[in-house]
Amino acid sequence: MHSNLRTLGLFAALTLLFVGIGYLLGGLYADEWVLGALFFLALATIMNIVSYFLSDKIVLWSYRAKIVTEAEAPRVYNIVKKICLKGDLPMPRVAIVPTHNPNAFATGRNRKNAVVAVTEGILTLLSDDELEGVLAHEMAHVKNKDMLVMSVAATIAGAISFAARVFIFSRARNNAHPAIVIVAIVTAPIAALLLQLAISRNREYKADKEGALMIQRPRSLARALAKLEEGNRRRPIERGNPATSTLFIVNPFRGGGIVTLFMTHPPMGARIRRLEELAEQTGYLG
């Protein structure tokens, strides 16, 4: 119930932002404030419905991720199968993202429709034990039903960020009032803030802990996170929208863009420290 209410609240907040943009755009172009708001309300309704059912496909498409068979990715499949047996979870689909950026994410509206995606970069960077820690983290998101909120929020927030850029362009073309431009400029960070509230740092901490306990090797995940932090610094993702950063186990975007003012992930040092403490508390050596 709490998860459903959180999802509905997120939809409502992002929809109101979207409608607000329509209200201002309607007045800017045709002096039709209400008509602009109604148009964007209809657009937001359609977007919410489409995002609910197709958010996983949208995210996979945006990163050119390819669903692969067990024959095509036996290493990833074998690790995910082990995790699913330990966590009593259904086997998700597996996807590979063609980028050197080392990362991973989960998407899908429920456990039966879940997709776990890994990048080509992470497959070359991590050992099997470290990769198992990362995939256990993603399966913890699946178990906790985080994927729908992350995926839909990323889709809608991406649209809001695009609309904000339209406003900036409109300012140059129509000599709009500076107040309107200010609204446009702050729209993107507001969307990012909503994402941060929807997918709080505590949920990342929770996925770290549950994933580590699932495989009984907190230090494997800690080592993986340290490598991923350095790998993402060296090779940030080549394409994508910063609004989707909450989907990834490590933020793949570095610098540039006002969205990055709002941290969507806990500090890496704190995540690693908590995993080390968990290893001490449980006595798990891996």
Amino acid at the residue 212: A
Catalytic position from the list 138, 229, 230, 280: 138
Contact 158, 241 (CB under 8 A): yes
Q: Is 138 a catalytic residue?
A: yes
**CA pair distance 215, 105, nearest whole angstrom:** 18
Residues annotated catalytic, as ranges: 138
